[in-house]
Chains A and B, each alone.
Chain A
Amino acid sequence: NAGVTQTPKFQVLKTGQSMTLQCAQDMNHNSMYWYRQDPGMGLRLIYYSASEGTTDKGEVPNGYNVSRLNKREFSLRLESAAPSQTSVYFCASDARIRLARDSPLHFGNGTRLTVT
């Protein structure tokens, strides 16, 4: 019962380096999301994928690319990392709400990225 799995948990990059954050869900959800969290800014949507084969920009897409590899996996790529991309990144997938106690999103545990 893994839910949403993000890798890695921590990463340090140098400016200009590239990397891919991986996200996978095992709940057969159609929609997946990438958010970033910065102090005092809440969670801001970077990209989302409403269904397999589609991706759309969120509030803060600049400097990122995404790939919806299949229904399970949604990756986030930083082509040339910048210090402004230092953040905590959360992947999430959508749950169909059936009960009031259900969360609408299943979140991964986050990836803490530092760009020096």
Chain B
Amino acid sequence: AQKVTQAQTEISVVEKEDVTLDCVYETRDTTYYLFWYKQPPSGELVFLIRRNSFDEQNEISGRYSWNFQKSTSSFNFTITASQVVDSAVYFCALRRGSTLGRLYFGRGTQLTVWP
């Protein structure tokens, strides 16, 4: 069975702080894909990143970085120097080995960044 756990329900930080959102996943597949989505207060789902199971290289995109560790089945997301506009619900998701098919979502982490 596939499962994604985001243990942090809510996180509050003050602007310019760094914040890490945790994601732990479970799958027996050897090939799989991991994703992060952002859902701002307006409600749409914004794709942030995809990572393949065979590529453990960490990625940085501006203030965002992702740490993928297969040994701990984790795919954590860090925002450096957070801004008020980062306030949103963030979802981690898993897709099985095929490039098509459903996504299994975590329950999401509500991030609030205070000015």
Which residues of A are at the interface with B, using a C-beta cutoff of 8 A?
30-31, 33, 35, 40-45, 48, 50, 58, 88, 90, 94, 96-97, 100-105, 107, 109-110, 112
Contact = CB atoms under 8 A, between A and B. Distances in A.
Interface of B: 4, 6, 9, 33, 35, 43-45, 47, 50, 91, 95, 99-103, 105-108
Given A42-B107, A90-B45, A96 B100 contact: yes
Contacts of A33: 102
Contact of A45 (B4, B35, B102, B106): B102
Contacts of A45: 102
Contacts of B100: 30-31, 50, 94, 96
B23 to A, nearest CB: 12
Given A42-B106, A50-B100, A102-B47, 15 more contacts: A31-B100, A31-B101, A41-B107, A42-B91, A43-B103, A48-B102, A97-B99, A102-B50, A103-B35, A103-B50, A104-B33, A104-B103, A105-B103, A109-B43, A110-B43
